[in-house]
Chains A and B, each alone.
Chain A
Amino acid sequence: MPKNNSIHKIAVIGSGPIIIGQAAEFDYAGSQACISLREEGYEVILINSNPSTIMTDDEIADKVYLEPLTLDSVSKILAKEQPDALLPTLGGQTGLNLAVELNDAGVLDKYHIELLGTGLKTIEQAEDRQQFKQLMQDINQPVPASLTVHNLDDALNFAKKIGYPVIVRPAYTLGGTGGGIALNQDELVKIGTRGLSMSPVTECLIEKSIAGFKEIEFEVMRDANGDKISVCCMENFDPVGIHTGDSIVVAPSQSLNDHQFQQLRYASLSIVEALKIKGGCNVQLAQDPNSDQYYIIEVNPRVSRSSALASKATGYPIAKIAAKIAVGLDLNEITNPVTQTTYAAFEPALDYVVAKIPRFPFDKFTGADRQLGTQMKATGEVMGIGLTIEEALLKAVASLEIEPQIETSLLPLTKQTDEELSFALTHPTDQRLFEIFSALDRYWSVKKIADLTKITPIFLHKLAHIWQLKNSLGGQLTSSLLADAKQYGFSNAMIAAASGKSELQIEELIVQSNIAPVYKMVDTCAGEFASATPYFYSSFFPGENESKPLGKSIIVLGSGPIRIGQGVEFDYTTVHCVQAIQQAGYHAIIVNNNPETVSTDFSISDKLYFEPLTTESVMNIVNLEQPLGVIVQFGGQTAINLTASLVQHGVKILGTSLAGIDQTEDRHQFEELLIGQHIAQPKGATTMNLEEAAAIAPHIGYPVMVRPSFVLGGRAMAVVHNEDELANYVDKAMKAAPHQPILIDHYVAGIECEADILSDGHDVFIPGIMEHLEGSGIHSGDSIAMYPSQRLTDQQKQAIESIAIKIGKQVHCVGMMNIQFIVADQVYVIEVNPRASRTVPFMSKITGQHLAKIATSLIMGNSLADLGLEAGCAKEPAHVSIKAPVFSFTKNYLAWTALYLLK
C-alpha cells in the first residue's frame, strides 16, 4: 500500500526520563522513527521531557516540545498543534499509556487525531492479562494457567487443580517482594500468606510455574497487508524466572532444534497476525527443555529494549521500518537500508553470534538486594559480537567496566565455600557468570551446574571450554595457544591474568606470533547479497579483513554501558562530536559496545566498530585505520580513563592533552593547580586510620566530610563536627571499605553550582552557570539544577567566571571541561572534569548552542572567534530552565535512599 497521503503532521510521544526498564533504547527507537517519518515528507512534532537525549535534539523533529508527559500537558500541545496523527508505539510503556489516556479522555477524537501503527484495541489485548489469555486460547497458543486470588483458600484450590510448582506474584509490592515459587501445599500456605499480607490490595496472582524453562524472544514485523517476518530470534542464557532485561542473551538462538525453532517462530507470527500488529512486536516464549511443550510468556506490541538489541544484532533497523509501516508502507515497498538492494520483507540472517550482558548498578546501590528475579534491576547493557559464543561472551565481559580483577580473572572477588557457591548458583545474582566459572574452577561437572542453575547445558559447555582454555594458558604460552585464546575472545588482560604475565608481555608475544584481528561486516544477510554497511566487529579467526581504512578519519570513543553516573547524555555528546567531524569534512569512526544507543546506529557515523572500549581493542582499530587522532572528551569517564595508555601506545589525542587531563584528575596536581592560581579549595587529606584522621581533622577544620575513597553512593559518607563523631564515622567507613584510604575534606556549606567551559586553548567561553537547588553535599547528578542561577549575586558570578577562565587557560583546555563550585564566604572549586559532562545536552538545548559540536570544532583547530563566540560568560536568558533527577528506587530493593548524610 502506498504511504498515507491524507496525513501531513504527525505527533510522536517519547518515553520521558530514563528509569530502570525504560532506558536509552527508546532514544534510539524514537530518533530513528522521527528521521524515518521526515524522510517520507511528514512534519513531525515530538513531545518528550528528557533533555539528555538525541531524540529531543532540534534536528530530529520539526518541533520539539520539552514538556511533561502528562495528560494535561500533552493535551494542550495537541490542541495547539492539531496534528493529523499520533504515533505512540515508540515511547515505551510511557508513550503507550499516554496514548490510552488521551484516547480515554476523548482528546484524540476531539481533534480528529488518527492513531498510527498498532491500534489501541491491540495494545489492550496484549496488555490486559484476561484479554490476552482469551486471545491466546482462541488461536490455540498455550499460556501458563493462572488465577488472581484474594484469599489463601482460592490459591490452594487453584494450585491443586493445575498442579505444583506454582508462582505466587503479590500485586503492587515493591520489586515483586513477598512472592516466590511454591513446590507443594505447605510452601504455598507460607508464601501465599506472606504474599497476600504484603500486597496493599491483598491480591496475588497464582501461576503455573515454568521457571527453569528456556526463555526465547522473537522480534517480529508485520505490515497492514498482513506480511510478516521474524527479524531475530534471541535465546536467554538465563532460564525463565530472571527478567529478560537482567538476563544474558544470545542471538541467534543456540539450543533449539529445528522443530522447536519453527514451532516458536510460527507461534510468534500467528500472534502478531491475531493481534493485527502494524509495526514491530516482541514475543517472549518459554520452551520446556525436556519436551516440545512451550508457553507464551508475554507480548510487547511496540518497540522495546529487545528490539534495539535485535536491531544491533542483525543490522535491521526495526524502529525505522516500524515507522514506515505505521504510515501505510508495506514491507515489500520499503528498501532495506543495509543492503540497499533488498526489501525490508527479507528476513535477516546472522553468520556470527552476539551476546548481551546487562550492567547492574550495585557498585552504586551498595546494600541493594542483588538476587535476580522477575523485577528488572539492570541500568544498561553491553553487547559482544564474535564468530563463536565464547568470543561474543568474553568481548561483552571486557566491555562491562566492572571491577577489573573480576573482568580479567573471570572469578568473583570473594572466595566462597562450596556450600556458599551452591547457594549462589541456585539464587542467581549479577555475579552468576563468574560464579559458574568458579564452579568450573572446582571441577564441578556441567551436569551439576546445570542442575543448580537450570541454565541450558550448551551454554555451560561453552563456559567450560573458556575455562579449559584459561587453564591451558597457565602453562607454556605457545603461538598456537595464544591464537586459540584470541579466537575464543580472550582479551590480552585476561590472558595476562591467566598466565601470570603482564599485559605488555602478552602484547609483545602476540605481535611476535603475528596474531592480529580481521574485521567482519554486519550485513543482515550473512553475505548472501552485496552490502556496504559500515558496521564491523573483530575476529581472530583466519579470514579476509572486510574493513578498509577510510583515510582522513578521526576515532571517537563512546561511553559504553549506561550506568548510574554515566547515562545517555554521553551518547548524545558522542553523536554530536561525530556530526561535527563529518561537517568539517573528515570521516568519523565510533568505537562503542552499547546496543541500546543512537551512537551504535551504523548510519550515524562513517564507520562503527562494535568492540570493547579497552586499549587493546582501540589500538587494533587505530593500527588499521591510522586516524588523524582519537577524541576522548565525549565518552564520559570510560574514554578519559583510556587516555594515558593510548598516549603510551603513541596515539595522538585530539583536544586537551594528557598533561592537562592529569592536572585535573590527579589529586596532588589538582591541588597545585588551584594553589598556583590562588583559587580556593576545601582543605582535604587522605588517611588510612582513625589516629591519623583525628590528628588531621582539626587542621582541616571541623565540620569535615568523611568518605571512603572507594565506596561510592554515599553510604558511608558523613559530615562530622567533632572528634567523637569522627571516631564513630571513621569506624563505619573502615567497615564499609576495609584497607581503603579515607578522604577527609573540610565541609563548606554553601550554594553548589557548575559550569561547562569551552576553550580553544587560549580563550574560554562559558555558556552559563547552573545553580543547584540543594546545597553542597548532594551529588550534582542527584540535585535539581537551575539556569539561570536564582540566588547568586553578580559579583559571585564574576568570581566563578574568572576562576573558570583561569583553570581553562592553565590546563590549556581544548574542547570542553566541567567545573563544580561551592559559593560560600568565597568561591571554592571542588571538582574539574576534563571532558563533556552530564549537563551538556541540557545546556545545549536551553541555550540554543550545540555545545558538543562547538567543542569538537575547537578540537579540530578552530578558535572561539572563528565560531563567532566571545570569550567570557554568555548573557543569561530571561526564561528559566530546570533539570530534575529521576530515581528508580522502586526497582532496587534495599538500596540506600538518602541523598546525603548530613548529621
Chain B
Amino acid sequence: MKSTGETIGLGDSYEEAMHNALSDSYHLTAPIGEQTALVDEASAQDTSLMNLLNQINIDIQVIAANETPTINPSNVWLVINSETEQTTTTKLNYFALSNGIPFFSATETLKGILTSQSAEAHGLRPVCKSTMLINRGLGD
C-alpha cells in the first residue's frame, strides 16, 4: 500500500460521485483547451485505454518513461505510466509530480475514471444531523 489518505465523492450518479472524489485525490478535472495526455510506452500497448482516450478527443503523446517530456507542463492533462519498475524519479513521473500534473501509475484507475467523466453541473448535499448522509438531499 502506498496511499497516505483518502477523499470522498458523493453523487446522485456514478459520474458525479467520481468527479467529486477525484477533485481532491488525483486532482483530475476536465481537460482545458487542447491539453495532451502523456502516455508511457507500456500503457500505450493497452488498446482499451487508448480507445477510451481517443473517444474523448484528447491529444495523446506516447513517450518513454525514462525520457523527460519537452512539452509545456500547463499543456498536459495527465500522465500515465504503468512501467513495472518506476519511482518518483523516473523522468516521466518526476515531470508530472514536480509540475503538479495528475499522475496515474495503474492503467485500470484511469480506464475506470475515463468511463465516468461527466461535465454535468453538480449539486450540493449536506449531511444533516438527523438524517446523516443517506438522506442528504433533505433540506436542499
Contacts and interface: CB of A to CB of B under 8 A. Distances in A.
B99 interface: yes
Interface in B18-57: 18, 20-26
A200 B20 contact: no
Given A782-B2, A894-B89, A897-B87, A80 B124 contact: yes
B106 A900 contact: yes
B70 interface: no
Interface string A868-902: 00000000011111111111111011111111111
B21 A200 contact: no
B8 A842 contact: yes
Contacts of A365: 2
Contacts of B9: 49, 68, 881-884
Contact of B97 (A174, A565, A885): A174
Given A16-B7, A51-B8, A173-B98, A66 B133 contact: yes
Interface in A43-85: 45, 49-52, 56, 58-59, 62-70, 73, 76-77, 80-81
Interface size of B as a range: 35 or more
Nearest to B26: A884
B108 A888 contact: no
Interface string A759-781: 00000000000000111001101
A49 B106 contact: no
B21 A884 contact: yes
A460 B126 CA distance: 53
A45 B124 CA distance: 13
Given A364-B1, A782-B1, A845 B132 contact: yes
Interface string A713-756: 11000100000000000000000000000000000000000000
A884 B6 CA distance: 6
A879 B112 CA distance: 18
Interface size of A as a range: 35 or more
B76 to A, nearest CB: 13
A898 B11 contact: no
A712 interface: yes
Interface in B89-137: 89-90, 93-94, 97-99, 103, 105-106, 108-109, 112-113, 122, 124-129, 131-136
A515 interface: no
B10 interface: yes
B17 interface: yes
B4 to A, nearest CB: 5
B3 A883 contact: no
Given A62-B129, A63-B128, A883-B7, A564 B2 contact: yes
B90 A897 contact: yes
B85 A885 contact: no
B113 to A, nearest CB: 8
B13 to A, nearest CB: 6
A565 B2 CA distance: 8
**Max chain A Cβ within 10 angstroms of own Cβ: one of B8, B86, B109, B127:** B8
The 3 closest A-B pairs by CB, nearest first: A18-B5, A68-B23, A885-B3
Interface of B: 1-14, 16-18, 20-26, 73, 81-90, 93-94, 97-99, 103, 105-106, 108-109, 112-113, 122, 124-129, 131-136
5 contacts: A17-B6, A50-B8, A713-B2, A782-B2, A880-B14
